[in-house]
């Protein structure tokens, strides 16, 4: 493994991450990717095998760290709680806060990866959904159990639904940072992007917790 190889692989991953985010999987061509990465057209197939494998590697590079971190933080919370249930707000922050704080870390993909992730959760491509399902499964199961314990009086089905809703709100908050601005044509006051992120986290957390703890619907 020489230096050039690493650079090439990394440049391809960076270009793929940005272009998949901006134009989607189907909307991004190998020639765009290799063009932006300034590498030969055949380099993607040489290093990753195929366009699909590249997409998976783009995700794996970031998700491995993210999900490990989520596990680590939840481990910590549970050991601090020493058998007592963990506060719902702490669980929500461990899952969504950890995600959002990635946006500020350019070494972990920053806002680009977060927007890619947000968009991909609604991506129709079969292989991507299957891949993400596999990547997420373990973490989801842990958090699901933690929330069940934290909210013993709430029916489990309700918690599962509300987790769905929270995922949706979060994905849009990120992916739609500019997409929804177009849809709504609302100008949110012009903060620079780090400011916006810093204020987004508490805003979203309030909303998520308000939704999670809302009174149960009566059927």
Partner DNA sequence: CTATGATTAAAACGAACGTATGAATTATAC
Partner DNA sequence: GTATAATTCATACGTTCGTTTTAATCATAG
Interacting residues toward a second copy by CB under 8 A: 21-24, 26-27, 118-119, 121-125, 129-130, 132-133, 136-137, 140, 144, 157-158, 160-173, 175-176, 179-180, 182-186, 188-189, 199-200, 202-219
67 closest CA partner among 134, 125, 146: 134
Rounded to a whole number of angstroms, the minimum distance from the CB of residue 137 to a second copy is 5
Residue 191 engages DNA in binding (rule: CB under 7 A): no
Q: Which is nearer to a second copy, 84 or 184 (CB)?
A: 184
Residue 29 engages DNA in binding (rule: CB under 7 A): yes
Length in residues, the chain: 219
Within 41-60, which residues bind DNA (CB under 7 A)?
41-47, 50-52
12 closest CA partner among 41, 24, 211: 41
Are 37 and 15 a contacting pair, CB within 8 Å?
A: yes
Residue 28 engages DNA in binding (rule: CB under 7 A): yes
Q: Tell me the two tokens of residue 80.
A: 């601090």
Tell me which of 10, 31, 134, 214 binds DNA, using CB under 7 A.
31
Residue 5 engages DNA in binding (rule: CB under 7 A): yes
Binding-site partner at residue 172 among a second copy, DNA, none, CB < 5 to 8 Å by type: a second copy
d(CA 180, CA 178) in angstroms, rounded, equals 6
d(CA 6, CA 142) in angstroms, rounded, equals 34
d(CA 170, CA 92) in angstroms, rounded, equals 11
d(CA 99, CA 118) in angstroms, rounded, equals 11
Which residues sit at the interface with DNA, rule CB under 7 A?
A: 1-5, 7-8, 28-32, 39-47, 50-52
């Amino acid at each position: 493994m020489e230096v050039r190889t690493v650079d090439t692989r990394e440049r391809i991953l960076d270009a793929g991450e940005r272009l998949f985010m901006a134009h989607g999987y189907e909307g991004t061509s190998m020639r765009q990717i290799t063009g932006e990465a300034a590498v030969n057209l055949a380099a993607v197939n040489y290093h990753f095998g195929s366009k699909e494998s590249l997409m998976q590697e783009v995700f794996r590079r970031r998700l491995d760290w993210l999900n490990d971190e989520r596990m680590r933080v939840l481990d910590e919370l549970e050991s601090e709680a020493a058998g007592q249930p963990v506060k719902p707000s702490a669980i929500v922050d461990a899952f969504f806060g950890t995600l959002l704080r990635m946006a500020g870390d350019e070494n972990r993909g920053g806002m680009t990866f977060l927007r890619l992730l947000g968009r991909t959760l609604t991506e129709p491509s079969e292989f991507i959904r299957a891949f993400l399902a596999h990547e997420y499964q373990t973490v989801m199961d842990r958090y699901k159990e933690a929330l069940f314990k934290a909210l013993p009086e709430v029916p489990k089905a309700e918690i599962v639904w509300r987790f769905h809703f929270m995922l949706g709100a979060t994905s849009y908050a990120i992916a739609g940072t500019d997409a929804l601005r177009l849809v709504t044509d609302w100008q949110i006051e012009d903060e620079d992007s780090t400011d916006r992120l810093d204020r987004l986290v508490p805003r979203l957390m309030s909303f998520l917790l308000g939704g999670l703890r809302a009174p149960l619907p009566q059927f």
